[in-house]
Amino acid sequence: MLHLPKSPLTMRIYCCTPTNFCGDEDSFFSRESGLFCRTFQSLGIESKAIMLLPSYPQDAPDVLRASYKNLCDPEWWKSLYLDGLVLYSWAAPRYNAVARAVHLAGVRSVVYMDTHGLISPLGNPQAWWKFGWRPTWALAGNSFLKFYSFAKFLIDSSLLITARRRVRHLASSHITTLPTRAGVTWMKQELAALGRSDLAEKVFYSPHPQKILFNYNHAPKENLVVSVARFRPEDWAQKRPDLLIKALNTFLKKKPDWKAIVVGNSASQLEKSLRLEPHKNIQFLDYLVHEELVKLYQKAKIGFWTSLWEGQQGTAAQALCCGCSVVAPESPLNNCFGDYVSTSSGRLAVKATPQSLAESLFLEVDSWQEGARNPAEISAFAKELFHAPSVAKRILSMILK
């Protein structure tokens, strides 16, 4: 049982993202590191968000900007008198100096790795060589860049360059967390293979927090599929909106009594940009504030995603909290959905094709019609897993252990 402090000044736990994001209330403080900061404050703990200079006009008052030199200086960290730190560094080797400085300052840190965990051949060799190269290939532009990126991938994978440098980062942390259970398993196996079983024992599962306003209001669900993601052209390689629309077209042709709503940056431009003809029952919305997004999730039965890779699909976690079941392609690069569908809360498509995904949607419709999907139960499971106070309390227990 975790006993929280009664006085706001009895404990000081800050959050650090060692890059230069805008520290605005609507975006930064509504997710991940910023949401941790706000949640710690709500629990009676002093907390600020540390990020790199320069400042933004939209920065909230409790954003603490620092130079990179400061972040790499143990004495600077000592001057903050912290009881703990949530470090959103992704365990990236480029931030090794930051993690080392925190460690030398004697600050107990939790390093958050926003990844599916398939990040070297040591965790799952078979899956790595079959799938690990795909994001690199998809993100590269022309043929030359694809060749260059793939050659770099092969060299790094064979010599384990990044994996070995990542060990130095994790050796500086008190706890390491990943947002998927499969990722935790693979990270432990990677560390054990590198001779650091001691570090493997400090790797735990902890999903990113979600705002508590994502909740199910017990209203009747409608025949509605919802998909929420970023749909700017630079996001297409990851989010695969062409696959999303083709699968929805296939589904809606046989289910004309259902509708679909696609929400996200530039969603309204997808029809023109991709030169596809969406089914008449598909609606596109560029943006919804969280309050409106909650209302949409609360009336939808199914959340649907087609990403090639994700660390944690946060919008799917939000949908689950609002009582939606979820459908996505099965992939080690997208294994958060394996956690999401584990309690009668959705299903995975065998293949990332329009037909296979549509078949999974058909089966999910059957599950709702047969009473095999209970939105209140889905929401209860998801809130315990994802709601920010629950996640923050679990992180506190790790820091204070």
Residues 194 and 228 in one domain: no
> Is the pLDDT at 135 greater than 80, yes or no?
yes
Residues 315 and 201 in one domain: no
Q: What is the model's pLDDT at position 200?
A: 98
Residues 54 and 185 in one domain: yes
Residues 28 and 170 in one domain: yes
> Is the pLDDT at 275 greater than 90, yes or no?
no
Residues 378 and 396 in one domain: no
Domain housing 271: 224-385
Q: Taking a C-beta distance cutoff of 8 angstroms, is the pair 362, 254 a contact?
A: yes
Assess if residue 216 is contained within a domain: no
Assess if residue 6 is contained within a domain: no
Residues 295 and 174 in one domain: no
Number of domains in the chain: 2
> Is the pLDDT at 7 greater than 80, yes or no?
no
Q: What is the model's pLDDT at position 224?
A: 98
Could you report the per-residue pLDDT of 308-332, keeping only the tens digit for each?
999 999 999 999 999 999 999 999 9
Residues 277 and 361 in one domain: yes
Task: Tell me what the pLDDT averaged over the chain comes to.
Answer: 94
> Is the pLDDT at 24 greater than 50, yes or no?
yes
Residues 273 and 175 in one domain: no
Mapping DSSP onto H, E and C, the string for the chain reads: CCCCCCCCCCCEEEEEECCCCCCCCCCHHHCHHHHHHHHHHHCCCECCEEEECCCCCCCCCCEEEECHHHHCCHHHHHCCCCCEEEECCCCCHHHHHHHHHHHHCCCCEEEECCCCCCCCCCCCHHHHHHHHCHHHHHHCCCHHHHHHHHHHHHHHHHHCHHHHHHHHHHCCCCEEEECCHHHHHHHHHHHHHCCCHHHHCCEEECCCCECCCCCCCCCCCCCEEEEECCCCHHHHHHHCHHHHHHHHHHHHHHCCCCEEEEECCCHHHHHHHHCCCCCCCEEEECCCCHHHHHHHHHHCCEEECCCCCCCCCHHHHHHHHCCCEEEEECCHHHCHHHHHCCCCCEEEECCCCHHHHHHHHHHHHHHHHCCCCCHHHHHHHHHHHHEHHHHHHHHHHHHHC
Supply the pTM of this predicted model. 0.94
Assess if residue 173 is contained within a domain: yes
Q: Is the pLDDT higher at 139 or at 381?
A: 381
Assess if residue 145 is contained within a domain: no
Q: What is the CATH number of the domain that holds 196?
A: 3.40.50.2000
> Is the pLDDT at 5 greater than 60, yes or no?
no
pLDDT-based confidence at 149, cuts 50/70/90? confident
Residues 25 and 77 in one domain: yes
Assess if residue 215 is contained within a domain: no
Residues 261 and 181 in one domain: no
Assess if residue 169 is contained within a domain: yes
Could you report the per-residue pLDDT of 176-229, keeping only the tens digit for each?
999 999 999 999 999 999 999 999 999 999 999 999 999 999 999 999 999 999
> Is the pLDDT at 3 greater than 60, yes or no?
no
Residues 267 and 364 in one domain: yes
Assess if residue 310 is contained within a domain: yes
Q: What is the model's pLDDT at position 298?
A: 98
115: region left, alpha or beta (phi > 0 left; psi from -120 to 50 alpha): beta
Q: What is the model's pLDDT at position 10?
A: 75
